[in-house]
Amino acid sequence: MFHEIDAVLKAILATGLDNAVAETNINFDTPCQRYKPNPMSINCFLYEINENEDMKSNEWSYDKGQDGIALKHRAPFWLSCEYYITAWADTVDDEHRLLGQIFTALLAYEVNPESVLRDVDIDTRVENARLKLNRVGYDKVSSLWKLCGIQPRLGLGCTVISSVAKQKPQKVPLVKQKILKVQVENEIKTQ
């Protein structure tokens, strides 16, 4: 499941890079002390996964079936995958140029996701992927680099919000007739 979310993010980034850096390596490795990326690399480190409470719904949807049966669907489960995206290059200028292109690609997808991935061929069950750029607090980034054992790097925070594949629908009988029963209580007489 998470590899499919990675594939969506990789496709977004790959479509946003210009020809000069089209051969950039996009990876999802943990940037620890042993991490030695190729020159001109983008690292998308998935550092946190949570249920997205804002998208949560307890409502069911129904599809009319045949033979008096309906299909009852549970609302999808929504995930928020938090990435810290860094650029790795031989020079600071190249890193900053690459970060600018990453920012532009993410912003283009955030504004108009359908146009960015329209021609991208990825095999995924990820549905309704949404993306937002977000501020990653200094404390979180500082802790991240300290845990990884490497010098802090400039990067962009990005959240990919996606619905997880739905459960199989349940078959339920269709309501064909509504019957309303009314009971009248004894009338109270006033004098």
What pLDDT digit, counting tens, does each position of 72-90 carry? 877 777 888 889 999 999 8
| pLDDT bracket for residue 58 (50, 70, 90) | confident
Residue type, 19: N
189 in a structural domain: no
Rounded to an integer, what distance in angstroms lies between the CA atom of residue 95 and that of residue 72?
50
Cα dist from 49 to 5, 18, 26, 78, 106, whole Å:
11, 30, 20, 11, 19
The whole domain housing 137 covers 2-173
CA distance 94 to 39: 10
123 pLDDT higher than 70: no
CA distance 16 to 82: 20
184 domain residue, yes or no: no
Count of CB atoms situated within 10 Å of the CB of 78: 20
What mean pLDDT is predicted for residues 142-157?
A: 80
Which pTM does this prediction carry?
Answer: 0.74
Q: Of 26-40, 65-79, 123-137, which range is least confident?
A: 123-137
Range 152-161 average pLDDT? 84
Residue 181 in any domain: the answer is no
Separation of first and last alpha carbons in the chain: 73
Residue 125 lies in a domain: yes
Has residue 67 been placed in a domain? yes
Checking if the pLDDT of 112 tops 70, the result is no
Q: Which of 22-26, 119-123, 158-162, 178-182 has the highest mean pLDDT?
A: 158-162
Average of per-residue pLDDT values in the chain: 78
User: Is residue 190 scored above 70 in pLDDT?
Assistant: no
CA atoms of 159 and 156, how far apart (whole Å): 10
**What total of structural domains would you count in the chain?**
1
For residue 187, being part of any structural domain is answered with no
